Structure 1
């Protein structure tokens, strides 16, 4: 019985809705299902404005354009993240200032940020790793003190909260992913949330290749023109149709994922008590959307041995990010600052299979495989 790390979930209505979108004869961006998705997110989570994009990367690139990133502006973000978080700002010429993770969690260490702020700092980008919130009150207080923008990379954080506030609604912008590895999927796909009303009109223009096309279709202007920078950030309505079928099943998807996550957590308590691994930490101010279940091993050797042992049992465990401050592209630009917590998670963190259609027998096999490995140690 092979157990993959991930398996995309289909609710059953994706094809039906795609056919409906095609039959509407409006399959480019901002069709029937795009509007349905926007309405769903704005009503359920109270986002000021949502705009579907072709990826979370595109949403982050839109945010970089909206805050007018210029060459040599500095942007602070965690080193333990995916390259898209940085690329969106590097493409505009920004210098990335990498921050360390917390010792207890891969999220950015809010207490370490003020020392990184200079007169060139323009924004702080936070990443809600595994859907668990960063300490947003501290981060927003810093941003207000130094007049900085806050962008939430909420790629993994749909349906998760910080002190009862939906992630993606707290900074100036939020960026979500609907990649096939996420809780809600559209194959590819993303979304930008705009929480500062002054950016809404320009966000629509940037998303439509720098034109006021959206205003034209609402009848607000008699023709549309090239009025700003922009690109083709909006997705096909076919992508939105797929996504909407997932949104209708949000509660069911989340309940199943949380069941799997909690089963892992309870079964591995003894490993933690014996100081063999660390388990995910959920702060009091955060909720858990069960995007990732991970273990933190003692060192890279133990982590690699665990992956190999489970692979031999046909169970697919995977590690995650390599610290960006040590990447071949950025190592010479970062300087000599050590980020030990980010490096620890790069070396020691391992992710376990977690997907909607995971059977109890598969879950039990993964649990037993991990326990068996540590019994042999």
Structure 2
């Protein structure tokens, strides 16, 4: 069977984990945590960052840092994972969902301003499939209305907008290193802090509401409970695994992007024939090879397509359900009409894409996709 995803091991993960254990400190904020932080600052260009146990944790930290209070409104796409919303709902926010573009699942920046009210505290953008949102337009709106921008960059490692790394543009950003992502640590994430106003408090929240990190740097003579917080930092064992992945970022990305463009080239004729829709990449955005999707004509065609490939032991999956149609949102916030989001929720399907995907297997997937769509459109 060709799976949808297969976690990739570079070969040094267990070596670094063993080294972390030998150093005698495997709790959070240890040797490998610092090495990962340094890598992201020096190699990617993030001004400040903190590893977390998950992207969800990073989003929850962001919600605390921008001081979300009950009744505040937070704008975000409906086509996203539930963690994007939960992080802010937990602080009492009212979620205002924005629709997707017609040609890609990202939030439509052209219709954001009408969603902003006096209660709006933040805009959360999700770079779906690692493809950048229109960050210039979004940041201009945020500055005009004095609201924060948080980038949910869970899928966006090594992806860019006008040459700037995603995650470096908003006030804060959250990344994921879940086993389905390009760079992994099993579970794991990272908060990126682009606004220096949040530096000190971010570290305190990260360390359970204490100034423990400042104490170990010798900046204070004792550490105390000084703010709210939680245990957001991951084990140094997790960081050791992640560091082995980071050392191989270029190799991993080269392979994944090659596979992505192979799909695009192999399926281009089907899009030209209007049999399906392929990913749209705006001029200012880059491809990071996180996932490759196609969009069917309707939910029935998608169901048939997934079943067809499953019959050949190829595992494809759809993705998000529209959050504005979820039972929780309906019970607490009423309803919204977001037809473009629903378009992708009903029609989008993701193809297998992972480092060790064999080229002959990918060719077989492409040929079977051609067979399926040629047959149903004949």
TM-score using structure 2 length: 0.99
Query: Displacement of 1:337 after TM fit?
Result: 2.7
Query: Displacement of 1:376 after TM fit?
Result: 1.7
Please state if 1:102 is matched with 2:101. yes
Cα deviation code 1:106-138 (max 9, x no counterpart): 000001110011111000000000000000000
CA distance in 1, matches of 2:250, 2:148: 32
Please state if 1:253 is matched with 2:216. no
Is the contact made by 1:108 and 1:127 (CA closer than 8 Å) also made in structure 2?
A: yes
Is the contact made by 1:267 and 1:367 (CA closer than 8 Å) also made in structure 2?
A: yes
Is the contact made by 1:97 and 1:334 (CA closer than 8 Å) also made in structure 2?
A: no
Long gaps (5+) in structure 1? none
Specify the SS of the correspondent of 2:327. coil
* Counterpart position of 1:54: 53
* Counterpart position of 1:139: 138
Moved more, 341-350 or 323-332: 323-332
Query: Displacement of 1:335 after TM fit?
Result: 3.1
* Counterpart position of 1:298: 297
Query: Displacement of 1:310 after TM fit?
Result: 0.2
* Counterpart position of 2:269: 270
CA distance in 1, matches of 2:369, 2:221: 64
Is the contact made by 1:42 and 1:49 (CA closer than 8 Å) also made in structure 2?
A: yes
Query: Displacement of 1:365 after TM fit?
Result: 1.4
* Counterpart position of 2:12: 13
Query: Displacement of 1:336 after TM fit?
Result: 3.8
* Counterpart position of 2:286: 287
Query: Displacement of 1:372 after TM fit?
Result: 1.3
* Counterpart position of 1:41: 40
Query: Displacement of 1:333 after TM fit?
Result: 3.5
Specify the SS of the correspondent of 1:325. helix
Is the contact made by 2:100 and 2:340 (CA closer than 8 Å) also made in structure 1?
A: yes
CA distance in 2, matches of 1:270, 1:45: 36
Is the contact made by 2:324 and 2:335 (CA closer than 8 Å) also made in structure 1?
A: no
* Counterpart position of 2:116: 117
Q: Write the mapping of 1:1-377 to structure 2, written as runs, cut at 5 A.
A: 2-377=1-376
CA distance in 1, matches of 2:63, 2:43: 26
CA distance in 1, matches of 2:29, 2:80: 30
TM-score using structure 1 length: 0.99
Specify the SS of the correspondent of 1:192. strand
> How many residues get paired?
376
Is the contact made by 2:124 and 2:151 (CA closer than 8 Å) also made in structure 1?
A: yes
Query: Displacement of 1:46 after TM fit?
Result: 1.5
CA distance in 1, matches of 2:5, 2:333: 33
Specify the SS of the correspondent of 1:52. strand
Is the contact made by 2:324 and 2:336 (CA closer than 8 Å) also made in structure 1?
A: no
Specify the SS of the correspondent of 1:351. strand
CA distance in 2, matches of 1:24, 1:51: 21
